[in-house]
Amino acid sequence: MWVQDEDATAAESDGESDLFSEDEGDIQFEILERQRDEANQRLSELEEVSNQLLKEINVLEIQFQIERSCREGAEALAVKVTKENKSLKRRSQMLLPLIAELPENLAAVTFDPETDPTVNDDVVDGGEETLMLQSQAKIRAGTLFNLHVCVCVYVYVCKAVCLITDILSQLAREVEEKEAILRQMSKQNKTMNKIKRVSQLVTEEFTEMSQRLELEEGLRQQAEVFAHQAVENGQSTAQIQSSDTGLRLQQALEQISNISTALSDIQCYYQAQQSQSAAEQSSILSELQNLREQLEKSEAEKTALETQLSEANNTAMQLQEEGSKHGSVVTAEGGSKQLDLDAKAEETLKKDTTDEQTEGSTPSPPPPPPPPPPPPPPPPSSTKPAPFSEMKAKAVDEMMERIKKGIILRPIKKVEDDDSSWKDQKCENRKSAVLELKGMLDNMKRQHFRRMPSRKGVGRNVGEAELLLVLQRRRKVMGEYQDPSSIQTQVAQSVPAAGGAPWAGESSSAPVLRRLKQNREKRDSRIRASALIISQES
């Protein structure tokens, strides 16, 4: 029912709005038709007035032409009269000396029109002139009247034009006013439609609210009845439950006291943790200062080692020069053999240095198995000169003496066998003493390149036993002139010095660097723990 009523009201409002819009359209159409009729009437009146003005203007033009022709004729007559007057004056002046000779009966002679033809002519001419003057006077009077009439008509026309302009302006104003009125009417109609819709919505809401009120009143009555019943039941049960509530209150108070004690304990614990964290932070700061001091010391040691490295490079240059002097006697075969021996010796020295660095932290590995027996050496060539062995022995002895005096072997990367790698002077300055000896032997090999046999056979015949013998001899020589404590310090110093060279990547297991890494890890762990404690407290 409620939906049907809403549909009916909506249909009625739509029908009323349609009727109202149709009435507005009819009214506007009638108003426009009236305005059109009035404008047509005024236009017809203006056309009539304009036609009358045109006719009067044509009449005035005709009169003007007549007046102009009359004026021209009057001017011509005036010219003739002046000419005749001049001729008469001349004649009279000519007749003045003949006055004494005039006859006695002059009056009879002069006043006889029949006998005197000249007099008759003059009289005739005078009558015509008077007639012309009268006609001119009449024409002038008529023209003056016509001019007066034209002036009056012109004034009337001007007034009519002014009235027409005023009427047109009034029409424009009235049209604007009507348009404004129509706009206001349309706005008012729209507002009325809105008001109707709002009124319909208000009526609908009012009906809904009235229904809700009725429902609420019914529910309220039921709630009041239920409340009375609940109160009656509550009074009976309150007496029974009063004893139980007392016990519950006592239990709740005991729980509150326990909770307060636990909270106080927790606060004390967190305060102790805060004090501990402050102490740890102070210890961390002191450790950081110690680490900074250690870093400064390590930098100073690094500078000292760099100076030692530069001195070693200078000595290496001197060794290269001396080796180039003595290398002209060494043959290609012995040079290639010594080169392979030195390369393998360097690799074993690398392993020894790394083992010495890790001796403090890891136990020594078991001894290696015994090496296989060395292969028989190749037979010496008959073409070798006699002093070759002596020169070779001298060069090796000089090199070993220089090593004993203070040259320290450092770990290096794997050396390439290309001939072009020894052309760069910077690379030669950074190599150790063993590599300098290898360069000397390579230079000797280049000088005797034509005599050098293939390197494959020589490399295969070299055994591990010879390498072990060379290493044992060098270790004995180093042990005679250096204490074990000084050897360890030199090895520890060689590691940071190698960090500045291109083979610094192999010295990552240095004790200083490991110690720094451990300190950093400890510091990071402490900072994380303090951050967690602070976040938990907040």
Under the banding of pLDDT at 50, 70 and 90, the label for residue 166 is confident
More confident residue, 207 or 336: 207
At 483 the pLDDT is 47
pTM higher than 0.85, yes or no?
A: no
Domain ranges of the chain: 2-213, 294-357+390-413+428-510
Asked whether the CA dihedral 144, 150, 156, 162 is positive or negative, the reply is negative
pLDDT at residue 185 is higher than 70:
yes
**368 Cα distance to chain centroid:** 71
Residues 10, 197: Cα–Cα separation, whole Å: 9
What average pLDDT does the segment 13-21 reach? 59
C-alpha 2/C-alpha 204 separation (Å) is 9
- Residues 374-390: tens digit of each pLDDT: 444 444 444 444 455 67
Which tens digits make up the pLDDT trace of 218-236? 888 888 888 888 888 877 7
Q: Give the separation between CA 137 and CA 154, rounded to whole angstroms.
A: 25
What mean pLDDT comes out for the span 84-111?
67
Confidence grade of residue 213 (pLDDT, cut at 50, 70, 90)? very high
pLDDT at position 225: 87
* Mean pLDDT across 148-158: 75
Residue 397 predicted with pLDDT over 80: no
Q: Which tops the pLDDT comparison, 309 or 352? A: 309
Does the pLDDT at position 162 exceed 60? Answer: yes
- Show the tokens assigned to 333: 């075969």
Lowest mean pLDDT among 135-139, 250-254, 326-330, 492-496: 492-496
Provide the pLDDT for residue 163: 82
Q: What would the mean pLDDT of 91-106 be, rounded to a whole number?
A: 66
The confidence score (pLDDT) of residue 11 equals: 56
Segment of 72-86, 235-249, 338-352, 509-523 carrying the highest mean pLDDT: 72-86
Query: 406: alpha, beta or left, given left = phi > 0 and alpha = psi -120 to 50?
Result: left
Evaluated on CA atoms 394, 398, 401, 403, the torsion sign reads negative
More confident site: 407 or 48? 48
